[in-house]
Amino acid sequence: YGRYGMDLNGSRRKNATRETTATLKAWLSEHKKNPYPTKGEKIMLAIITKMTLTQVSTWFANARRRLKKENKMTWEPKNRNDD
């Protein structure tokens, strides 16, 4: 990303809003035992949150990392590659 919050297409990069993260957090809390949404679930969440699939995937990767850091991990770690 450029220095001014532009993405590679030159459009402004929007940060996730509270409503957006609330949707993602709700999904996460319902799937604590397996916090890896399927492609279909990611697509659905992307549509609801008006985010891209990449943004949704990244958010989940970061969320899992945060949970792990807080030792709130309740799932078996998966391979790095099947995210």
Taking CA atoms, 63 is separated from 3, 29, 39, 60, 73, in Å, by 24, 11, 17, 5, 11
pLDDT for 53 beyond 80: yes
Distance between CA atoms of residues 30 and 21, nearest Å:
14
pLDDT (average), residues 34-59? 96
CA angle 62-43-4, nearest 5°? 50
What pLDDT band is residue 9 in, cutting at 50, 70 and 90?
low
Considering all CA atoms of the chain, what is the largest pairwise distance in Å, rounded to the nearest integer? 39
Percent of the chain with pLDDT over 70: 77
pLDDT (average), residues 66-70? 91
Distance between CA atoms of residues 35 and 6, nearest Å:
29
| Interval 24-39: pLDDT, tens | 999 999 999 999 999 9
* The CATH number of domain 19-70, selected from 1.10.10.60, 1.10.1660.10, 3.40.50.720, 1.10.230.10: 1.10.10.60
